[in-house]
Each structure stands twice: as C-alpha cells, then as structure tokens.
Amino acid sequence: MTLGMMKDRITLENITELKKNEIFVFGSNQLALHGAGAAKLAAERFGAVDYIAFGASGQSFAIPTKDRMIQTLEITKIRKYVEAFIQFVKVWGKENTFLVTEIGCGLAGYKPEDIAPLFKEAVKYDNIHLPKRFWDILNK
C-alpha cells in the first residue's frame, strides 16, 4: 500500500461527529455496558446500545476487548472478534466507512504493537480506516 493511500484511511484521534455513511468502531466489554472511554462516546454520540457487546448499533460497531467482569481479554479472543468484524465489513459493510479507534489501547491496557497486527487483513478493504499508530506498525 502506498503512503498516499494510507493517508486517506487514517482514523482521526478525536472523533466528535460522523458523516452519514461513517461507523465509529470502538472497544467494548462482553457485559455490553458502554460506560467509559470510547464506548461511552459511542453510546452518547453515535447510537451504541447497551447489551450489544459485539456488532453494529446506531452509527457504531462494538468489538470486545474486556470480558463480563471488565477484565482485559486475551489477544487470541480479541483476534477472533476482529476477524468477525472484518467478515462483517466484507459482507455487509460495503456502503459504509468504518473508523476504527485504537481499540484495546486505552482501558484494556494493550499497546498499539499488540493490537495493530490483528487488523492486517483490514488493509485490503478501502472502507476500513485505522489509527495512524496502527498504520505505522502495519507498514513496518
């Protein structure tokens, strides 16, 4: 992927509003109570609904990074959710642009180096935008 193409697919750090076809992708918990971090923003601004731990609601898409006890999930479990997200985009998301936040890198405590590789397949889809730090890692 060329640097120019990547620049067109960088998720902004502070998203405050979305265009009609944009979807805010955030880290959630398996309890599906969106009370803190990007999940709280998703609930307050972008229509994320409590009790949807994984998937689309409003203009948002939840990917769990914490379990029902609000403990950080293992990378292997997060990977399965990311893979399912990419499959969702492939089948159902063609008309939307998915703005992936730095899931797992806030309250869950992972570093971008841990999470970015999970999105390697997402690079193939023009409508999946990733944080700059994820792109920097994927382009190494």
Q: Quick one: pLDDT at residue 3?
A: 45
Q: Give the 3-state secondary structure of the chain.
A: CCHHHHHCCEECCCCCCCCCCEEEEEEEECCCCCCCHHHHHHHHHCCCCCCCCCEEECCEEEEEEECCCCCECCHHHHHHHHHHHHHHHHHHCCCCEEEECCCCCCCCCCCHHHHHHHHHHHHHCCCEEEEHHHHHHHCC
Question: pLDDT class for 9, splitting at 50, 70, 90?
Answer: very high
Q: Which residue range is the domain that position 105 belongs to?
A: 3-138
Whether 24 has a pLDDT exceeding 70, the answer reads yes
Counting the structural domains of the chain, the total is: 1
- Residue range 28-62, pLDDT digits in tens: 999 999 999 999 999 999 999 999 999 999 999 99
pLDDT grade for 8, boundaries at 50, 70 and 90 = confident
> Do residues 89 and 125 lie in contact, with contact meaning Cβ atoms separated by under 8 Å?
yes
Question: Confidence band (pLDDT; 50, 70, 90) for 81?
Answer: very high
| pLDDT, tens only, 87-134 | 999 998 889 999 999 999 999 999 999 999 999 999 999 999 999 999
5 pLDDT band, cuts 50/70/90, is low
pTM of the model: 0.94
- Output the domain CATH number for residue 134: 3.40.220.10
Q: What is the pLDDT of residue 117?
A: 98
Residues 1, 139: contact at Cβ < 8 Å? Answer: yes
